[in-house]
Amino acid sequence: DAKTTQPPSMDCAEGRAANLPCNHSTISGNEYVYWYRQIHSQGPQYIIHGLKNNETNEMASLIITEDRKSSTLILPHATLRDTAVYYCIVRVGETSYDKVIFGPGTSLSVIP
């Protein structure tokens, strides 16, 4: 699986949009971009995933660049409950269960 790089930490004001970047410059054509988050002392939570088109669900939006070498997770109106570590990973397919390693992720702090 391709490696990803993310900034170690970010702050966001409550109510504002949180934009979390991820670089995956070596991504292959059949690899999907997945985002998860982990709130302290809880298990990881799936947020969203996509291949090349932008995706939106009730939690977030995923913007993938045309060359697919980077993506941005957008939380449109961040709340204090969104404070967590956010992980960007790339995986082959939607049904693959190859070994996956979560990197350090981005620690997002939502500030009142």
Partner 1 sequence: GAGVSQSPSNKVTEKGKDVELRCDPISGHTALYWYRQRLGQGLEFLIYFQGNSAPDKSGLPSDRFSAERTGESVSTLTIQRTQQEDSAVYLCASSLGTYWGLGTSGHSYNEQFFGPGTRLTVL
Shortest Å, Cβ 29 to partner 1: 19
For residue 76, CA distances in Å to 57, 85, 108 come to 11, 17, 14
Q: Is 7 in the site for partner 1 (CB under 8 A)?
A: no
Q: Is 15 in the site for partner 1 (CB under 8 A)?
A: no
Q: Is 104 in the site for partner 1 (CB under 8 A)?
A: yes
DSSP-derived letter for residue 51 is: S
Number of residues in contact with partner 1, rule: CB under 8 A?
24
Distance CA 20, CA 18 (A): 6
Is residue 18 within 8 Å of 10, Cβ to Cβ? yes
Q: Of 53 and 95, which has the nearer Cβ to partner 1?
A: 95
Shortest Å, Cβ 45 to partner 1: 6
How far apart are the two ends of the chain, measured CA to CA in Å? 37
Q: Is 85 in the site for partner 1 (CB under 8 A)?
A: yes
Q: Of 16 and 57, which has the nearer Cβ to partner 1?
A: 57
